[in-house]
Structure 1
Amino acid sequence: MTILSVENMQVRFDTPDGPVQAVSDLSYSIRAGETLGIVGESGSGKSQSVFALMGLTADNGTTQGAARFHGENLLTMSKRELNQIRAEKIGMIFQDPMTSLNPFVKIGKQLSEVLCIHRGLSRKAAEQQAIAMLDAVRIPSAATRMSQFPHELSGGMRQRVMIAMALLCQPELLIADEPTTALDVTVQAQILTLLRELQAEFNTAILLITHDMGVVAEMCDRVLVMYGGRKMEEAETFTLFEQPAHPYTQGLLKAIPSIRDDMPRLPTIPGSPPSALLRNDGCPFTARCSVARPQCAETPAPLTRLSSRQALACHGVTEQVAVTEPQCSASQPIKQAASV
């Protein structure tokens, strides 16, 4: 069952230097119990696309299109209507828990307030459920942690608190924005394992925003690749790693460091990302693309389905028609690295 369907989303910011088009014509859907990864380098529009879903864009931002959650358009809802959906039906884990948690308020109070506001529980009942959720996210001595401040916990513990807070109302959709960026590899693996276990228990759909392809290989059922605010490719995870079709996706996968001694110098994608201040009527990857065609600079390529498991937006590749032989066989090493 599809619980969220995004259609032609546009996110734009008016700045003193001119308009910035952060997201253009973005469409995707996610089903219950599924994990969809959105990947791309910094500035590709990943985070802004989910902030728009939650009504968290800056005051100078405008959003168009549709994001239908069980048929209701989140992008046209009032703040009051969104507040009823946030936490209750859609939870969010932010990138940096230290800046997301209130440093002056104890952990227990921050967790309890969620249940008091959204579920109408008494303070005592809310505290009991908060302790139970801290236990669920594998925080030792949960009752003791309730009386501590965020700075008294490690980075991994703070991230677990954020996960607990996001899951308190058992939302149908969990948005995780770079949830393991600031964590070491061991803690990262623990957090990913925890998310999978909680997803299996609550049948929660997860929208995972990341630039870490190892995390993608470990967690995601499908992957959406963004560049310059546009969707470049969408595929099932295994297909994306074995047969990346878009030149940008191929570049991302080739740029993953390897532990093999016989690997040549780490490849890079030539050029630089385009400025979001510059008007771009065509594909934003044109200037860095090895298969660019004249029409690439003029019109963005329509999304073309190569198979039931893969679709991409690229004039050059779709002219060649066939899906090429595997460009990257790194999926297994990546999965092993993500599981360390």
Structure 2
Amino acid sequence: MHMADALVSAATGGAMWAASAGAATYSVKKVQTEIEENEKKIPLMGVMGAFVFASQMINFTIPGTGSSGHIGGGILLAALLGPHAGFLTLISILAIQALFFADGGLLALGCNIFNMGFFTCYVAYPLIYKKIIHKKMSKKNILIGSLIAAVVGLQLGSFAVVLETFFSGKTELPFGTFVIMMQPIHLAIGIVEGLLTAAVISFLWNTRPELLESSNLDKINNSNNKKVVALLLCAALVIGGIASWYASNNPDGLEWSIEKTIDSNEVEGNSSIHELLRSVQDKISFLPDYNFKSDQEAQTQAKLGTSLSGISGSILTLIVAALIGKISKKYRQIKAKINN
């Protein structure tokens, strides 16, 4: 559900950048305290970022629709890292995707952060998932909480996409028709994401239950912590480097909805700001659409580009997400020294 720049106006894109920046600022302040209390969250932010980045590369087919979807990862990140660190980790994923892989526009980055991160980490997680799980931690409750939270988060995010195109004046995407296309397909995607999220959380609950609550991270000794980090990193590299070969080639839910609405998956954005950001993105992205820039049709070449994208993107995300944690901790230490 990564929006392209052509779907938003400069005004709407700027407003959503401001909204996402405000939410990020709030998250940073909260994470500073959390990391000061437990530094083990920093490497976990990195490897979970890498894991979700890699997982987002695998589009799964929605049977009978000709569409596909991928996990957003917001509920999974919030469940393992807490909403604040989860939100910041998702920002690092989306920023790397836009900058280096041309997945989602630069103008639309604020929209994508808000749609995929805010609604999951700050709405669906605390109001649905957390309330269900806190009644009793069990496989049943993990499944119910993950399923409902993923569906609600994705429904809110997909409806936000429609609103953002409406306020951007995209008359070629009529509000009513676009809603009718967007909501049902993202309901199906949300159900699959909920099931996948529940499977991952249930596995970690069986093997490392202390990971499911950030306040329990201090119970992990250094040896176990390294094992957890190594396991998640290996999983990210295998998913991004090999499993990503088998991703569905069908258009994702957003592309499919646009195509069904206007009989084309292309929406034009020809303003000067669109042209400028398109040029910047073309220069920065070294593996656009997770493949080489050259038009190589050979299957082995395509697989190599996908593998390189999955591995390099996972490593970049790991570094950026961990740096966010490190910088947040350092900033709080400097601030404390100044105040003293």
Q: Please report the TM-score for the alignment, with normalisation by the length of structure 1.
A: 0.27
Q: Which has the higher contact order (CA 8 A, sep 6+)?
A: 2
Larger radius of gyration: 1
Q: Please report the TM-score for the alignment, with normalisation by the length of structure 2.
A: 0.27
Structure in which a larger fraction of residues adopt strand: 1
Structure in which a larger fraction of residues adopt helix: 2
